[in-house]
């Protein structure tokens, strides 16, 4: 079964500091997408960053970057210079290319301390 595991139910960080959220997944496929979604209190799911498995280079979007370790099936999210607006639930997700289902982890609640 395809699974996504986020081992940290909650994390907190001081404003302006850096925080890393962990995600591991289980698949026998070699070609797939990985995503991090943010869900603020407004509850809409917003895409933060995506990674294609065939690309070795880690994706980066402004203050957000990933550490993609394909052999280890690990896909962590690093948030640099944390801001109060980063406070949210963060979901790691994955889907196989050609398949339609997006498999989500259970989420990590991130708190930013001023």
Partner 1 sequence: DAGVIQSPRHEVTEMGQEVTLRCKPISGHDYLFWYRQTMMRGLELLIYFNNNVPIDDSGMPEDRFSAKMPNASFSTLKIQPSEPRDSAVYFCASRTRYTGELFFGEGSRLTVL
Should residue 63 be labelled a site residue for partner 1 when binding is judged by CB under 8 A? Answer: no
Distances (CA, A) of 26 to 22, 32, 42, 96: 14, 12, 30, 11
Instruction: Please choose, from the candidates 60, 13, 44, 38, the residue with its C-alpha nearest in 3D space to the C-alpha of residue 104.
Output: 38
CB of 8 to partner 1, least distance (A): 15
Nearest in space to 73 (alpha carbons), one of 103, 38, 45, 48: 103
Selected binder of partner 1 within 28, 41, 43, 72 (CB under 8 A): 43
C-alpha distances out from residue 10 to 7, 19, 36, 90, 111, Å: 9, 12, 16, 10, 8
Which residue, 25 or 35, has its beta carbon nearer to partner 1?
A: 35
Q: State the minimum distance, in angstroms, from the CB of residue 46 to partner 1.
A: 8
> Considering beta carbons, is residue 53 or 79 the nearer one to partner 1?
53
Among the listed residues 87, 91, 108, 112, the single contact to partner 1 using CB under 8 A: 91
Q: Which is nearer to partner 1, 43 or 71 (CB)?
A: 43
- Residue 45 as a binder of partner 1 (CB under 8 A): the answer is yes
């Amino acid at each position: 079964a395809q699974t996504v595991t986020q081992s940290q139910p909650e994390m907190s960080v001081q404003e302006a500091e850096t925080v890393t959220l962990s995600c591991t997944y289980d698949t026998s496929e070699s070609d797939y997408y990985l995503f991090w979604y943010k869900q603020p209190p407004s509850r809409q799911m917003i895409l933060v960053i995506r990674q294609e498995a065939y690309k070795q280079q880690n994706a980066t979007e402004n203050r957000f970057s990933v550490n993609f370790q394909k052999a280890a099936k690990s896909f962590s999210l690093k948030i640099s210079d944390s801001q109060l607006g980063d406070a949210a639930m963060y979901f790691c997700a994955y889907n196989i290319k050609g398949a339609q289902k997006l498999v989500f982890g259970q989420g990590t609640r991130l708190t930013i301390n001023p």
